Amino acid sequence: MTTALEELAVRLREFAAARDWEQFHTPKNLAMALAGETGELLAELQWLTPEESARVMRDPEAARRVRSELADIATYLVRLADVLGVDLLDAAHAKLDESEQRYDADTYRGSARKAPPLS
């Protein structure tokens, strides 16, 4: 069974291949593009209050821009993971497993403090 992320990775791979862009899709370039797109998302939220940022999707034009930036981030992230041979879902689950060990719910409920590294 193919996941939606795998289907997107294949579509992005085919998109790049059809344009002979694999030569530009190095891990470094994709990571830089991902960082740039993340900056563009940040710019959409930068001067909003916390309350305004929570309501940003209520404004149709702002919502369109935010969705577009999120899509750019997602596509670069999926493409980078594909180029590096990383299964994003497996990596995310492994990271969550680690975080569950580092941040037990009783100790860290309502706290933003950092946990010590796992030994």
In order of start, what are the domains of the chain with their CATH numbers? 4-108 (1.10.287.1080)
| Whole-angstrom distance, CA of residue 60 vs CA of residue 24 | 34
Q: What percent of the chain has pLDDT over 90?
A: 91
Calpha distance 82→10 (Å, rounded)? 9
Tell me how far apart the alpha carbons of residues 114 and 3 are, in angstroms, rounded to a whole number. Answer: 33
- Between helix 60-84 and helix 88-102 the angle, nearest 10°, is 100
pLDDT the model gives residue 58: 98
pLDDT, residue 51, reads 97
104: amino acid identity, one letter:
D
Q: Which residues of 81-114 are buried (b: 16+ CB within 10 A; e: fewer)?
A: bbbeeeebeeeeeeeeeeeeeeeeeeeeeeeeee
Q: How confident is the model over 22-58, as pLDDT tens digits?
A: 999 999 999 999 999 999 999 999 999 999 999 999 9
- pLDDT higher than threshold 80 for residue 118: no
* Cα–Cα distance list, 16 to 10, 12, 25, 112 (Å): 10, 6, 8, 40
Backbone angles phi, psi at 59, to 5 degrees: -90, 115
The pLDDT tens digits for 68-86 are 999 999 999 999 999 999 9
pLDDT at 116 over 90: no
